[in-house]
Amino acid sequence: MESDATAFAESPAFTAALATLPSAFRWGVATSAYQIEGAVDSDGRGQSVWDTFCRKPGAIVDGSNGDIACDHYHRMPADVRVIAGLGVDTYRFSISWPRVQPSGRGPANPAGLGFYDRLVDELLAAGIDPWVTLYHWDLPQELEDLGGWPARDTAYRFADFAMLVFDRLGDRAPTVTTLNEPWVVARLGYREGRHAPGRKDLQDSISAGHHLLLGHGLAVRAMRSVARRPVDFGVTLNMSTSTPASAAEVDQVAARLADGMGLRIYMDPLHHGSYPQDVIDLLALDGVEIPVRDDDLAVISTPLDLLGLNYYFGQYFSGHDENGTAATDRPVFRQVPPPDDLARTAMGWPIMPDGLATLLLRIARDYPGLPVVITENGGGFPDPADANGFVEDHDRVDFMARHIAAMADARQRGADVRGYFAWSLLDNFEWAAGYRPRFGLVHVDYETLERVPKRSALWFRDTISRVREGIPAAP
């Protein structure tokens, strides 16, 4: 019998949405190195900022760290078999910088590169395309000690690291993306202190964001210049809708500024080769400048072959302070709860699938000519496992079905979206939230490290095969 939670996934509306997707649509699952690999002291790996941050009292809610995580480093071939069992065509993973280049500079650590070399071979042998992310937040600690991302030199070190990886994997990896979610690194890591390295300075945060983009551009230029076969180069951004809390002019201004600080501050330099003027003006109020030099913007706007988009939820903004007073002397943008009482995931994030369609259409309109792949979408849910480790995660199935339908709708309306990757393959280390939120399609028992595909994994496999086989049009 159909439960409320699965009603949409089993509805004619969802089938109709799937029927609009081409059989060659790309389907994948995603992970990142620090969240799953463990083996932090193995085979010459150096320390990263996350190893350090996790040891800071109170930094991680459950006091955990990525020392063991899912132990993927030692279980990689079996994990590739799990991925193959999902029927996906793509696996998106990240390279641990301190595993490949322990101090962030100098020659490669052969054992570190060797791990990713074997991973790529295992994937290809299983008929799965490797999708490489070069940087998913694990900066070598030695580079942080030299200034981290606020220091310009880190961008050049990143480009060197990218070349070490590309030199080894570029003959077999069809897609290489540079950064995952630079906003999170710059904002949560250097302004809010909620992520590694735990710094809290606006100028550092803005400098970090610029140098992340510069590193991206330098890396793409360098890799593209030596590529001997077609490789798609891109970058992944986390994106959210910024909706005014009301029709009031002050709320409209607030939402526009939030959008500037969250989305346009990355997309404009990447696609238009310039920073948004309203963002520059806003930062100037705090005496903060974006440290643009020479031909930085030309480097940053090096053409992209694709844009990775990570979507989890939309946001609402008010230009009124907590007392309801409209800001007058300087702009305020305060995030407020959505007006409707929306269902939320275990992270407390409101479930807003329509926001994904809005974003995809907005990218098509404001940044045309850029193919998009949803490189992450998913939900953290309580996920109680039965005695066999099986999880009936109908809430995740519903979440994914609604987002896939929203994506298909945007595609029908002109968005150039080419693929959808679920976050995440496995339950894993959810950064400052530790191991409590579970995002995996595959359950991990953290005592035994046993993997058991959840209901959502089986459903995802069936959904992919329905699209591949073609769904008959409704009579």
| Tokens 């409320």, located at residue | 4
- Give me the least distance between CB of 92 and ligand IFM, in Å please: 11
| Tokens 């900022």, located at residue | 49
User: Catalytic residue positions?
Assistant: 181, 376
* CA pair distance 394, 142, nearest whole angstrom: 44
- One residue of 65, 241, 310, 318 binding ligand IFM per CB under 6 A: 310
| Tokens 């089938």, located at residue | 15
Under the binding rule (CB under 6 A), the answer on residue 129 touching ligand IFM is no
- Give me the least distance between CB of 9 and ligand IFM, in Å please: 22
- Give me the least distance between CB of 289 and ligand IFM, in Å please: 28
Q: Which residues contact 24 (CB under 8 A, 6 or more apart)?
A: none
Length of the chain in terms of residues written: 475
* CA pair distance 141, 154, nearest whole angstrom: 12
SS3 424: coil
Nearer to ligand IFM, 149 or 423 (CB): 423
Nearer to ligand IFM, 260 or 308 (CB): 308
Phi, psi values for residue 180, rounded to 5°? -105, 120
List the strands of the sheet with 242-244, edge to edge: 242-244, 315-318, 334-336
Nearer to ligand IFM, 137 or 317 (CB): 137
- Give me the least distance between CB of 138 and ligand IFM, in Å please: 11
* CA pair distance 188, 186, nearest whole angstrom: 6
Phi, psi values for residue 315, rounded to 5°? -130, 155
* CA pair distance 285, 202, nearest whole angstrom: 12
What the block records as the tokens of 287 is 């005496």
Restricted to residues 158-197, the positions that interact with ligand IFM (CB under 6 A) are 181
- Give me the least distance between CB of 312 and ligand IFM, in Å please: 6
**CB of 76 within 8 A of CB of 117?**
no
- Give me the least distance between CB of 32 and ligand IFM, in Å please: 5
* CA pair distance 316, 401, nearest whole angstrom: 24
- Give me the least distance between CB of 36 and ligand IFM, in Å please: 10
* CA pair distance 450, 444, nearest whole angstrom: 6
Under the binding rule (CB under 6 A), the answer on residue 37 touching ligand IFM is no
Q: What is the DSSP string of 341-406?
A: ---B-TT--B--HHHHHHHHHHHHHHSTT--EEEEE----B-----TTS----HHHHHHHHHHHHH
Considering CB under 6 A, how many residues would be counted as binding ligand IFM? 8
Angle between helix 394-412 and 455-469 (nearest 10): 30
Nearer to ligand IFM, 109 or 180 (CB): 180
- For residues 74 to 113, the per-residue mask of contacts with ligand IFM, x marking binding by CB under 6 A and - elsewhere, is ----------------------------------------
Q: Report the first-to-last Cα separation within the chain, whole angstroms.
A: 25
- For residues 416 to 435, the per-residue mask of contacts with ligand IFM, x marking binding by CB under 6 A and - elsewhere, is -------x------x-----
Nearer to ligand IFM, 74 or 194 (CB): 194
- Give me the least distance between CB of 180 and ligand IFM, in Å please: 6
**How wide is the angle at C-alpha 114 spanned by C-alphas 108 and 115, nearest 5°?**
115
* CA pair distance 270, 68, nearest whole angstrom: 36
Under the binding rule (CB under 6 A), the answer on residue 376 touching ligand IFM is yes
Nearer to ligand IFM, 32 or 207 (CB): 32
- One residue of 6, 26, 32, 444 binding ligand IFM per CB under 6 A: 32
Restricted to residues 434-463, the positions that interact with ligand IFM (CB under 6 A) are 439
Task: Tell whether the torsion through CA atoms of 34, 36, 40 and 42 is positive or negative.
Answer: negative
**Contacts with ligand IFM, residue ranges (CB under 6 A):** 32, 35, 181, 310, 376, 423, 430, 439
